[in-house]
Structure 1
Amino acid sequence: MACLSLFVFLAIFVVSAFPPACYVQGIISCIETERIALLSIKAGINHSGDQSLFSSWTGHDCCKWQGVSCNHESRHVIKLDLRQHHSRRVFFLNSSLIQLHHLKHLDLSMNNFDDSPIPGFIGSFANLEYLNLSDAGFSGAIPHTFGNLSCLCYLDLSSNDNLQSNDLHWLSGMSSLRHLDLSRVDLSKVHGWLHDINSVLPSLRVLKLSNAELQGCGIYATTDLPHHLNFTSLRVLDLSGNDGLKITLLQWLFNLTSLVHLDLSACALCGKLPVTECNLSRLRVLSLSGNHFDGVIPESLGKLGSLETLDLSENELNGRIPESLSNLTNLEYFYLFSNKIGKLPESIGRLQKLVKFHLSNNQIQGLMPASIWDLRNLQYLDLSQNMISGAIPESFGNLTLLQHFDGAVNNLIGKLPETIGNLVHLQDLDLSQNAISGKLSESFGNLTQLQYLSMQGNGITGGLPEYVGKLSGLSVLDLSNNNINGTLPKGMGNLCKLLILDLTSNMISGGIDDLVDGLSICSKGLETLNLGNNNLNGTVPENIGKLSKLIELNLPSNSLMGVLTESHFVSLVSLGFLDLSYNSLQLNVSENWKPPFDCLLIRMCSVKVGPVFPTWIENQTYLSHLCLSDAGISGNIPAWFGYLSTSTSYVLNLSNNNLEGRLPNSLKNYNFYRIDLSSNRFEGPLPELDLSFLLVIYLNNNSFSGFIPSYFANATYIQVFSVSDNHIIGSIPLFFCNLTTLKLLDISNNNMSGGLPYCWNSTSALEIINLSNNNFIGKIPDGLVSLTNLRSLHLRNNDFSGDLPLSLKIAKKLVTLDISENKLSGSIPIWIGENLSSLVALCLRSNLFHGIIPEQLSKLSSLQILDLAHNNLSGCIPHSFGDFKAMVATNHNQWWSLFSIVSVAKAYFSIDYNYRHNSFAYSESLLISAKGLQMEYSKVLSLVTSIDLSNNKLSCELPEELTKLHGLHFLNLSGNHLIGKIPESIGDMKQI
């Protein structure tokens, strides 16, 4: 009877002690009320997100559901992990969660609660030990009820960008807290954040407050450092991204002896590194990157013997790396990039545990210390953007674990060592923009793990080795701007993982059929194919149209030929940049063809797309750069052309065609950066355009008429204005004097008249002025010729009068001076020879100059063309004329290439990286009299040397010194009063 009573008592106790649970086939499942609560939570989820976690939320036993854990005895839910790892779920968190009273672990991170506030009832989970609500889209204030979570050990509210707290008093009740992360929570109004956090410090191990808009030192006092605060248990402290912190806080932090990890990156801290009395002997990770620290790296950093990661990148540190850092023998990750470090010590080789060493963008000069090549655990080494010189040594092959090496933008020379083949784990190799020479060695073939190879901008010679086609892991191959010759290896078509292939600007010959045919079969993702500026020939294979992922296709400046049809573009649906210029190609598509692509850039210069303006351009709604120069197009520009693109900026080149008529008014819809309509048959007034961002305009060699419109005064950024060879009338508008960025002004060969403005003082950027062959009158303004950057001045065939302005002597960069065929008078100034030392061409022909020829002209050591014909000059030919150095030699410098590419401050708009233009073209030309004929020299001008003194009043004998000018091509002394014998040595002037 006693036993029966005991059994009844125990049965009653069990029933009363545990809440009702589901019984399924004799097995206790979860608590029914909690199961219903979980299903209610599930119902609050937007089903457009990832539902894979909830696919298991069926049946009676919720303890078996994914993300749910229960106590084995009570069957209460104690853990709910709804962390989202993939696409975010939009979540509505209803109050049913409060039914899970026994929760110890709650993770709702990486969901999307759509800026809803954090429910205050979460503070009622008295047993909660772990709470993670990070990156979940919560907003508003952190509930003060969180202060009730006295058992909480881990709290992460980070990356909720609209979450904020005005104080941290609610932390005072969290006596068990060990991990606190409030990164990217707005704490800007919390003045005593360090004091408030100190209330839980006896157990706190990890404190992360990055990008929390913290201010000051975090204490309520304004001057004292928080020496009284107890931080002895803290191991990890992250205050990065708070640009309101004070440097005095840093001095105190460096004495927290318990710290293992300290991150103060991007805090806008400045001055010297305050680590002279650093006591962080346990520190393993120190990040001070992205601040404004200057001066040298202090020796005291070498005392941090436990350091494994040191990040001092993106500061203004200078000098050399101190020897003491070689004591950091546990260092594995060392970041110093983007400073002003000048030298590495030889002792750097003692850091034998280094895995990653990042030194890019410093001022390191000279040879690298030999010991760096003995860091045999290195997997990542970046030395790019320095001034490192010398050859890469054979010992480079010691770094057998290396996976990434970047030595780009240095002064490295010589051949690559054969030992590079030892780096069998190498995945990324960048040696671009150096002076490396020689052929690619056979040992390169051992680098079978290579994924990224860039050696662009070097002096690599020879052909591409066959083994290149066996580097099957390559995704990027950039060997552009070298001297590589030969044909493309057949195996290159097997590089199926290629994303970028760039061989631009080499001397590669042969066809591209094998390459394209191979890639069209196996390539799944080729995005960039750049083969421009080579010697490639043959046709463009139709299979190129199968490269459906292609974004950039650039084949300009080759010898490709043949007809391009719609098949060549059939699947190029991703194409954004197309450049087929300067080949012998013809486009043959139907009149109603609609390309599958919608490009940003199309360059078909010299591709025959005519005979009329191509209608398929109308479908290119994103177009911002179009070149159809020399394309065999005739007729008018259609009106729709001004409406097709949504681009806000535009580059347009339609030069050298047969286009005619007036320009459509719709062109003013574009903000042109550069427009070139030269060498057509356009007529009417100069076009009205949106000039807000115009840099370059070429309208020369057309039939435009009328005045230069006043609205060109709005072209405040213009650098090139060329309207030569038209029928423009009127005088030069005064607004040209306000175009402060103007570098080239060419209005030659028009019908303009009047005097020149006297207001050129603001146009100091001008380099080239050509006003030839107009009807300008009056004196040459002092301001026009005293421009310090002036290099070419053409005033030929006008009616200018008076003396040559004395202010011209200021233009010391002047290379070409042509003021022929005017009414200028006076004597030829002595200062031309003394001040204009850069002159290569001096043309004063057909004026009214008189007096003697100054012998100081012979000081013009670069002079190749001297034309003083048809004046009233008298006296003798100076004997010193035999000293013209540029006329003595038979080989002449290509000095006129100066005007082929003249640097400008801003590039005209072009998205294509490889063909971006940072210059404008100007072809210098001069009229030279030879054998009774005046001939215009342009392309071969740099090869010409000439002296023309004909039709003056020169007397005396022909100086024998003149016959030393063995490089002279033309010499005309006729129409003078010379006497005496012709020197016999004139026969040595074999170039004439």
Structure 2
Amino acid sequence: MLHQGSSSLTLAVGDRNKDDEKRLEHVKVRKFNGIYSQKWQTRRSGQSDAMIEREAEEQYREEFNAHFSLQRKTTCVEQDRLALLRFKRALVDDYGLLNSWKNTNTNTTTARDCCRWRGVGCNNATGQVITLDLSGTWSEELEQILGFTGEIDSSLLSLSALTYLDLSGNSFTRIPNFIGSLKHLQHLKLSNIELTSPEFPDQLRNLSSLQTLDLSATQVVINNSNWLSGLSSLKYLNLSYIDLSGSVGLLNTATKLPSLVELQLVNCLLPNDTAFSFHDPLTNLSDTFSVLDLSSNYLSSSTIYPWLFNFSACLTDILVSHNELSGTIPESFGMITNLKTLDLNNNGLKGGIPSSFVNLSGLRELHLSGNNLDQDLPSLFDNLPVRSLQILDLYGNQLSGSIPDFSVFSALMKLYLGQNQLNGSFPGKFKENSSLLILDLADNRINGLLPDLSGFGSLMELYLERNLLQGNLAERLGSISNLESLGASSNFFQGTITEQHVANLSSLIYLDLSYNSLALELGPDWSAPFQLDVISLSSCKLGSLFPKWLKTQNNFSVLDISNAGINDTVPGWFWNSLNTRVRYLNLSLNQIHGVVPDLIYGKQPLIDLSSNNLSGSLPLFPQDTIALIVNNNMFSGSVSSLCNLTTLNRIDLSNNKLSGNIPNCWNRFDRLLILNLENNLFIGSIPDSIGSLQFVSMMSMRDNDLTGEIPLSLGNCTGLQLLDLGENRLSGKIPEWIGESLSTLRVLSLPSNRFYGTIPTSLCMLEMIQILDLSFNNISGSIPKCLDGFIGMRTRGTPDATIEYNAVGLERTRLTSRARYVFKALLQWKGRQSEYQKTLDRQRLRICSSADKFLQAKEANT
């Protein structure tokens, strides 16, 4: 981390007197350290110390220059002011970001002084413009970057003292070559720019004073590396998310830049063979080069390891996550004595951590998540340095063994051990460790009691979900008063949580206690000491009355109080208090009754009100709702209001009293995956627009009063895996096109209708079929012999089939892994009805195969 007085923080803001410097020195250090600390706490991986320090320095630069703009005794140079106005005229400013840039003859200082304009910084002594930051601004309300379009005008050349230029996040025609003539430029940031012309400005090679160049995620085409050799002062180079597959030799050229400190080439499609050329000796390497990020480039072990270890002695940060590294982790990493950060996340590595890693006395961060490491955890810990390590990420491997005493890592701040195969119980007692901030042990097989965690006085996030832990959780809550996030769902915790147990948790923002044997006894007048963002209490006993303490929670985005024993109406204050941040609302599996008012709230919410006693007409829902699950209630009336909810990907209105025609507006739904309208009172025909649902995988209209034929347009739903139209009054012949167009069907259920004719032989093309139910129709003729050859219906002992399904993501929560959806089909066999149930769990829809039951029934009746 940069320290007080670091030369890296010397900013080009002009000459200042000693009183200015002395007065602001404490502000400088406090602001920079505060920014660094915030970044440190929110990062998990993918950013090195140098990256974080540089971002903090840039943020500090803005605040530092803003302060001195108020201390200046001179106004901006007139030539620079006029140049900025010319530059503005070439831009389209739809959002009024440059309203402070005014061409006025007024004598007011604010209007005429361009140094006070947005994004402009000046030299304190001369009034010349030295920094210009016109990067796009993120709008939380609009969820987009607010920026400019137009041309980058040559009037920039008149800013003769310009050292810092940031035009990131905008849309321009091109990056002009004249930028290469800004001879004093030290920092150039042109990231995330949409370009009409992707031509790369080779004249950048003339910027011999340039220290920072960021072109990441900008739509330029770079076909050579010649331009790089002229950037002799370059320290930081970021070309991430640019296709460099045609730029042979760029990597070797970059690593030879004499001043280079940091190189980021994330997701650049680097060519495996030519990027790492061993024919050109690695000579004249910069002795300052310390940070290398080659993540997401499909690089193999044989390609990168020899090249990397040939010059890695100077490196402090190596990030090669999301590549195709395989085999065991080389011992050679342990020989890079200066190493501070090593990120090998999401590769195909196996085995364990080499013993040589214990020699990395300066190692701060080790990221190995998403691999196939299968080492015993206690022996793995023995191979790590215990004094320096601050972040250890082993999430998503196959590590085994019991939990060792990780408090021996005296500097450890973040420990991720989730989604492994750890078992056994916790150590009897942990040593005191005040540095630990995050502990993730979710998705293992850890059993026994939760230990005393009072020694981890700084613990902010604790994740224990989906283990085998038991005992009284409430007794442990009071000892971790700094906790912000607690995930303890799907264990065997028991007991009652009262107001006293959570009285000290004033910082809590994330609470998930679902699927335990817990009860919450919180008085009706209790005012919570916290404001929660995520409230997940499914299957906890909250009492028969709707929890009144929720009235104090004004900022939640996720609320799940399903199956909580509530037998009450939802009070009006609850519906009225729902804010625009709500992303997930689940009140299902209670006995809530009454009428639901129109709900115009939320931000792409997922709404589940299923399995209650709600009545009345279907309310209006937010137009950007992404999932609407209200099955098993007593809603009645028309569903025409659905036509406004065009962002839905799941609709379940089953088992209600909804009536009228099914609306003919399905051409508006381009994201729908699941449609369940079964067991209602719908009449009329199936609308033709249903064929517009090209991504739908499940569709059920069973048990209504539908008439007419199956529409031909349904053949366009080529991704269907379940189609259930049983128990209606549909007529006509079973269409031939079902077998030809719906080849992915696993379940086809058409019983108890008025179909006639013969069974089409095209059904033999349904090679994936597992249930075919045509019973109780007027079908005649013989059964096609080819039906006996169905693999899905014949093979005994076949594992459960899996229907892939991209579940709705709940951003900023850990609840995505518990996305669950139940869909049922009924199988008729000679008067007997059996249930065929499918469960959507962890982003997959699992079909419990009925093949054996079907065969047994068939054999018993033949």
Shared fold per TM-score greater than 0.5: yes
1:85 aligned residue: 25
**Match among 441, 459, 463 for residue 398 of structure 2:** 459
Q: Which has the larger radius of gyration?
A: 1
Displacement of 1:804: 0.5
1:674 aligned partner, one-letter code: L
2:858 aligned residue: 971
2:823 aligned residue: 923
The answer to whether the 8 Å contact 2:348/2:371 transfers is yes
**Match among 789, 792, 798 for residue 892 of structure 1:** 798
Alignment of 1:976-991 (within 5 A): none
2:38 aligned residue: none
Displacement of 1:648: 3.9
The answer to whether the 8 Å contact 2:264/2:293 transfers is no
Displacement of 1:330: 2.9
Displacement of 1:942: 2.4
**Match among 678, 681, 701 for residue 610 of structure 2:** 678
2:652 aligned residue: 722
1:677 aligned partner, one-letter code: L
The answer to whether the 8 Å contact 1:254/1:275 transfers is no
The answer to whether the 8 Å contact 2:188/2:210 transfers is no
1:436 aligned residue: 373
Displacement of 1:308: 4.5
1:331 aligned residue: 286
1:486 aligned residue: 424
SS in 2 for 1:675: strand
SS in 1 for 2:615: strand
Verify: 1:773 aligned to 2:703, yes or no: yes
2:59 aligned residue: none
Alignment of 1:262-277 (within 5 A): 263-266=212-215, 270-272=220-222, 275-276=225-226
**Match among 902, 919, 929 for residue 805 of structure 2:** 902
Alignment of 1:469-868 (within 5 A): 469-492=407-430, 494-512=432-450, 514-519=451-456, 523=457, 525-663=458-596, 665=597, 667-670=599-602, 673-686=605-618, 688-708=619-639, 710-809=640-739, 810-833=741-764, 835-863=765-793
In structure 2, how many angstroms separate the alpha carbons of the residues matched to 1:970 and 1:183? Answer: 80
Displacement of 1:760: 2.2
Structure 1 707/917 Cα, relative in aligned 2: closer, same or farther at 3 Å? farther
Displacement of 1:746: 1.2
In structure 2, how many angstroms separate the alpha carbons of the residues matched to 1:443 and 1:679? Answer: 48
Displacement of 1:462: 1.4
In structure 1, how many angstroms separate the alpha carbons of the residues matched to 2:158 and 2:17? Answer: 38
2:189 aligned residue: 241
Deviates more, 1:239-248 or 1:498-507: 239-248
The answer to whether the 8 Å contact 2:718/2:744 transfers is yes
TM, length-normalised to structure 1: 0.67
In structure 1, how many angstroms separate the alpha carbons of the residues matched to 2:399 and 2:734? Answer: 52
**Match among 313, 317, 320 for residue 265 of structure 2:** 313
Structure 1 260/317 Cα, relative in aligned 2: closer, same or farther at 3 Å? farther
2:757 aligned partner, one-letter code: G
Structure 1 942/383 Cα, relative in aligned 2: closer, same or farther at 3 Å? same
1:301 aligned residue: 253
Displacement of 1:543: 3.9
2:297 aligned residue: 362
Structure 1 798/260 Cα, relative in aligned 2: closer, same or farther at 3 Å? closer
2:448 aligned partner, one-letter code: G
Ranked by relative contact order (alpha carbons within 8 Å, sequence separation 6 or more), the top structure is 2
**Deviation per residue, 1:397-455 (Å, 9 max, x gap):** 32233221110121212233233323232211110111211212536244212110111
The answer to whether the 8 Å contact 2:376/2:400 transfers is yes
Query: How many equivalent residue pairs?
Result: 742
Structure 1 162/626 Cα, relative in aligned 2: closer, same or farther at 3 Å? closer
**Deviation per residue, 1:557-586 (Å, 9 max, x gap):** 111111111122111111111110000111
2:683 aligned partner, one-letter code: S
Displacement of 1:552: 1.0
Displacement of 1:372: 3.5
The answer to whether the 8 Å contact 1:607/1:630 transfers is yes
Deviates more, 1:368-377 or 1:763-772: 368-377
2:132 aligned partner, one-letter code: R
Structure 1 476/683 Cα, relative in aligned 2: closer, same or farther at 3 Å? same
Displacement of 1:333: 5.3
Structure 1 919/741 Cα, relative in aligned 2: closer, same or farther at 3 Å? farther
SS in 1 for 2:515: coil
The answer to whether the 8 Å contact 1:944/1:969 transfers is no
Deviates more, 1:478-487 or 1:398-407: 398-407
Structure 1 670/490 Cα, relative in aligned 2: closer, same or farther at 3 Å? same
Displacement of 1:714: 0.5
In structure 2, how many angstroms separate the alpha carbons of the residues matched to 1:413 and 1:670? Answer: 44
The answer to whether the 8 Å contact 1:746/1:770 transfers is yes
SS in 1 for 2:678: coil
1:936 aligned residue: 835
The answer to whether the 8 Å contact 1:83/1:111 transfers is no
SS in 2 for 1:557: coil
**Deviation per residue, 1:881-930 (Å, 9 max, x gap):** xxx3x13xxx22111x53xx7325x53x4531x22359551333433548
Displacement of 1:517: 3.9
In structure 1, how many angstroms separate the alpha carbons of the residues matched to 2:633 and 2:835? Answer: 20
2:781 aligned partner, one-letter code: G
In structure 2, stretches of 5+ residues that fail to align are: 1-15, 30-61, 78-99, 104-113, 136-150, 169-173, 840-846
Structure 1 365/181 Cα, relative in aligned 2: closer, same or farther at 3 Å? farther
**Deviation per residue, 1:647-690 (Å, 9 max, x gap):** 34342111111112222x2644556611111111122222x223
Structure 1 539/117 Cα, relative in aligned 2: closer, same or farther at 3 Å? closer
Alignment of 1:954-969 (within 5 A): 968-969=855-856
In structure 1, stretches of 5+ residues that fail to align are: 1-66, 70-78, 90-107, 124-138, 143-156, 175-179, 198-205, 220-224, 335-354, 864-883, 949-967, 979-992
SS in 2 for 1:419: helix
In structure 1, how many angstroms separate the alpha carbons of the residues matched to 2:590 and 2:642? Answer: 25
2:53 aligned residue: none
In structure 2, how many angstroms separate the alpha carbons of the residues matched to 1:578 and 1:678? Answer: 23
2:629 aligned partner, one-letter code: Y
TM, length-normalised to structure 2: 0.77
Structure 1 801/460 Cα, relative in aligned 2: closer, same or farther at 3 Å? same
Displacement of 1:829: 1.3
**Deviation per residue, 1:911-958 (Å, 9 max, x gap):** 31x22359551333433548x74333437972533577xxxxxxxxxx
The answer to whether the 8 Å contact 1:601/1:911 transfers is no
Q: Quote the sequence identity (%).
A: 26
Structure 1 493/970 Cα, relative in aligned 2: closer, same or farther at 3 Å? farther
1:182 aligned residue: 130
Displacement of 1:326: 4.0
In structure 2, how many angstroms separate the alpha carbons of the residues matched to 1:706 and 1:486? Answer: 55
Superposed CA RMSD in Å reads 4.1
